[in-house]
Structure 1
Amino acid sequence: MTESVRLLGISGSIRRNSYCTAVLQTLGEGLGGKASLDLFPLHDIPPYDPDLDAENTPDSAVALRKAIAAADGLVVISPEYNYGMSGVLKNALDWASRPAMQAPVKGKAILIMTASPAFTGGVRAQHEMRETLAGMMGRVIARPQVVIASVHEKIKDGRLTDAAAISFALAAIDDLLAEIRMLRAAGAV
């Protein structure tokens, strides 16, 4: 890509030693100049309240919307809680989905991932993530699912260390970058 690409990473975990955040940090370091990956922390996003979503929108929700709007694409990763995405992520996406039909996610290329200590790697949450983001009119890229199973055994010192998982996730980011190139060529971004 000749133009720089700005990716925004959103981790569905606010845990201090979050596996999902560690995955995003590792991937950002492995991009090799193809793109930048900035992380948006969800710690300060309040519960979605339509009564606050107008001229009273909380600063953290406004900042999330602006960060999404400024990005060329999103990398969204979640743990799996009770077969779905984390409540923290769903809440942030609810804030990011407004204003309806004009949300900053609309038309944005998005890569979804899950990571879990379970052998399933959070795969059951992927459907819910895909449905929510598609409902927001985001462009979740079609590709084999990025699922990091037994993630607790693959994180060391705050970084993903499993070579196969890193390679597969970076290939998924390459697919995301290809989608962004296609959207740019079509004048959609």
Structure 2
Amino acid sequence: MSNQPITVLGISGSLRKQSYNTAALEAAMELAPPGMTLVKADISDLPLYNQDLHTDVFPDVVERFRQQIHAADALLFVTPEYNYSIPGVLKNAIDWASRPPAQPFAGKPAAIMGVSPGAIGTARAQYHLRQVAVFLDLKLVNKPEVMIGGAKDRFDEAGKLTHEPTRDFVRQLLVSLHDWAVLLKK
């Protein structure tokens, strides 16, 4: 791994204040390897996608989010699983940001991880997000896959990721994302 600096925009697919997924994103910010700066996007104020709201210009909050994506060297999606898929708020954010002109996802390195109380740790949601990523032309990290199940046993009451093997998986994912972003910059 090189220490070449990259900036990663982290996007949590949960708006819940005590979200395990947002807590996992915060753990990733703490565990970022040398050379990686990980910043958190706020998608809570994006309106529901409505093409009538996007005429000649995007709403200011949407333009802010699109600019954050443009400015980042890579993306980290941290998604819960709702009804075997990605949450509506995450899909809404992606739908807004992906509208022309200058769709900011194209060619961008990205990684996915997620947390759930259940045993399979957002596997189905992550695979749906991978399908969406193909259309967006995101360049996803394939391994490791970080699907954190049994959330209540992995985080403490304050929301800190305390399970060391899981912290190691997150570290490995971030190193892979860093190396992938550096490789794609060449």
TM tier, shorter chain? Answer: over 0.9
Instruction: Give the whole-Å Cα distance in 1 for the aligned partners of 2:137 and 2:51.
Output: 20
User: Any unmatched runs of 5+ in structure 2?
Assistant: none
Once the two structures are TM-superposed, the CA of residue 173 in structure 1 deviates from its matched residue by: 1.0
Could you say which residue in structure 1 is the equivalent of 2:144?
Answer: 144
Aligned amino acid, residue 29 of structure 2: G
* 1:178 equivalenced with 2:173 (yes/no): no
- Counterpart of 1:131 in structure 2 is 131
1:68 aligns with 2:94: no
User: Which secondary structure state, in structure 1, belongs to the residue aligned with residue 94 of structure 2?
Assistant: helix
Per the normalisation by structure 1, the TM-score is: 0.92
Q: Between 133-142 and 8-17, report the one with greater CA deviation.
A: 133-142
Structure 2: how far apart are the matches of 1:54 and 1:167?
45
Separation in 2, partners of 1:152, 1:80: 16
CA contact (8 A) 2:33 2:171 kept: no
Query: Which digits, 9 at most, give the CA deviation of each residue in 1:145-170, with x for residues without a partner?
Result: 21000113222212211111110111
RMSD of the TM alignment (CA)? Answer: 1.4
User: Hey, what does 1:117 align to over in structure 2?
Assistant: 117
Distance 1:7 1:114, change over 3 A: same
Q: Tell me the distance in 1 between the aligned counterparts of 2:55 and 2:180.
A: 33
Identity of aligned residues (%): 35
Q: Distance in 2 between matches of 1:177 and 1:54?
A: 36
More displaced 10-residue stretch of structure 1: 109-118 or 56-65: 56-65
| Structure-1 residue corresponding to 2:29 | 28
Measured after TM superposition, the shift of residue 56 of structure 1 is 4.3
Deviations 1:57-108 (A, max 9, x none): 22111111000000000000110001001111011010111216x3111100
Q: How many residues align?
A: 184
Q: Distance in 1 between matches of 2:76 and 2:33?
A: 16
| Mapped partners of 2:66, 2:124: distance in 1 | 27
Instruction: Give the deviation of 1:44 after TM superposition.
Output: 0.2
Q: Distance in 2 between matches of 1:123 and 1:155?
A: 19
Shift of 1:34: 2.7
- Partner amino acid, structure 2, of 1:139: K
The answer for the alignment partner of 2:14 in structure 1 is 13
Secondary structure at 2:17's aligned position in 1?
coil
| In structure 2, distance between residues paired with 1:140 and 1:59 | 28
